[in-house]
C-alpha cells in the first residue's frame, strides 16, 4: 500500500510502498528495500497516536471511534495486540460475530507482545471486564505468559486481583470453577499470592448462586454434597497453594470454620 507516514531511511523520500504483512518497505524513489521489526512499527508516531486514541475511545465506550483508530494502527502494524483486541471486541459485541475474542487470543498466542501493548491490554480488559468473564482463562493465560519476569510479579498480582474477584462475584453458578481454572488459580496463588482473589473465592462459598446458603437449600442433600465436593474443596486447595504469610493463615482459619459449619448445616 502507498504510505505517507513511513519514509525511506536511505534517501528520505515519502514515496514508498509498505507491505504490512511482510513488514517490508520499498522506496519508489531509490529502490531501497527495508524490513521493519514489530518494535519499530509500534514506535511509529502514527501508530502511537492512533493506538492512544483507540484505547481512550474504547474506555469511553465509543466503540465505533475506537475501531476506526484501531484500523489505522493495523494498516501499519498489522499484529498490534491492543488494536486487534479492539477489533475483536467490536466484532463480538457490536457485529455479533461469535468467537471473535477467542479467535483473537489464538491469533496473538505466538506474538512477542511488547511492554506498551501489555499496558494497553490491561486498560482495555479492566474497562470491559463485565463482558469478559467467559474469557477468564484466556485472559489469565495471556498475561501470565507475557509477564514472566520476576519484576512483573507484583504487577501481575495487582492485575488479577483487580479483575478475578469481579468475575467471581458475577458468576451465575459454581460451574465456572473448572479443573483448568482451579489449577490456574493454584499456580497464581503459589506464584504471587493473589490475596484479593483468594478472599473472593472464600466469600463465594456463602454467596455463589449454587451455595445452599443463598436459598437455604440444605435439605437438598445431593446438591449440598456436590457443592462441597466440587466447589468448597477446590477453593480450599487454592488457598493452601498461597505462600505462607499472614493472609494465608487468616484465610485458612476462616476456611476451616466455613467448612466445619457447612458440613454441620448440610449434615454430611
pLDDT for residue 1: 40
C-beta of residue 224 within 8 angstroms of C-beta of residue 170? no
pLDDT tens digits in sequence order for the chain, 268 residues long: 444 478 888 888 888 888 887 778 888 988 888 888 888 888 888 899 999 999 999 999 999 999 999 999 999 899 999 999 999 999 999 999 999 999 999 999 999 899 999 999 999 999 999 999 999 999 999 999 999 999 999 999 999 999 999 999 999 999 999 999 999 999 999 999 999 999 999 999 999 999 999 999 999 999 999 999 999 999 999 999 999 999 999 999 999 999 999 999 999 8
- pLDDT for position 41: 86
pTM: 0.88
Q: Which pLDDT score, from 0 to 100, does residue 218 have?
A: 94
Strand order in the sheet with 33-35: 2-3, 16-19, 24-27, 33-35
Quote the CA–CA distance of 9 and 16 in Å, as a whole number.
Answer: 11
Domains and CATH numbers, the chain: 1-36 (2.20.25), 45-131 (1.25.40), 148-268 (no CATH)
CA dist 177 to 49, 75, 112, 237, 264, Å? 40, 40, 30, 12, 24
DSSP 23: T
* 258/186 Cα distance (integer angstroms): 20
Residue 95 half-sphere exposure toward CB, CA atoms < 13 A: 14
Amino acid at each position: 500500500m502507498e504510505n505517507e507516514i513511513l519514509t525511506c531511511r536511505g534517501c528520505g523520500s515519502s514515496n514508498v510502498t509498505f507491505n504490512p504483512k511482510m513488514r517490508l518497505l520499498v522506496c519508489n524513489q531509490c529502490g531501497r528495500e527495508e524490513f521493519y521489526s514489530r518494535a519499530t512499527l509500534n514506535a511509529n508516531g502514527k501508530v502511537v497516536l492512533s493506538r492512544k486514541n483507540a484505547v481512550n475511545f474504547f474506555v469511553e465506550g465509543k466503540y465505533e471511534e475506537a475501531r476506526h483508530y484501531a484500523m489505522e494502527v493495523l494498516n501499519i502494524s498489522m499484529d498490534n495486540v491492543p488494536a486487534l483486541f479492539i477489533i475483536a471486541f467490536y466484532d463480538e459485541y457490536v457485529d455479533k460475530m461469535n468467537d471473535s475474542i477467542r479467535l483473537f487470543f489464538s491469533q496473538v498466542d505466538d506474538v512477542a507482545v511488547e511492554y506498551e501493548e501489555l499496558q494497553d491490554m490491561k486498560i482495555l480488559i479492566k474497562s470491559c471486564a463485565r463482558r469478559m468473564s467467559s474469557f477468564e482463562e484466556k485472559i489469565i493465560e495471556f498475561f501470565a505468559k507475557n509477564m514472566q519476569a520476576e519484576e512483573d510479579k507484583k504487577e501481575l498480582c495487582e492485575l488479577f486481583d483487580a479483575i478475578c474477584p469481579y468475575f467471581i462475584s458475577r458468576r451465575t453458578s459454581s460451574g465456572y470453577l473448572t479443573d483448568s481454572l482451579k489449577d490456574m488459580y493454584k499456580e497464581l496463588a503459589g506464584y504471587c499470592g493473589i490475596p484479593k482473589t483468594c478472599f473472593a473465592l472464600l466469600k463465594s462459598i456463602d454467596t455463589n448462586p449454587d451455595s445452599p446458603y443463598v436459598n437455604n437449600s440444605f435439605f437438598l442433600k445431593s446438591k449440598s454434597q456436590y457443592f462441597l465436593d466440587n466447589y468448597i474443596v477446590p477453593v480450599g486447595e487454592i488457598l493452601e497453594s498461597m505462600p505462607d504469610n499472614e493472609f494465608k493463615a487468616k484465610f485458612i482459619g476462616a476456611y476451616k470454620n466455613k467448612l466445619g459449619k457447612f458440613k454441620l448445616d448440610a449434615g454430611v
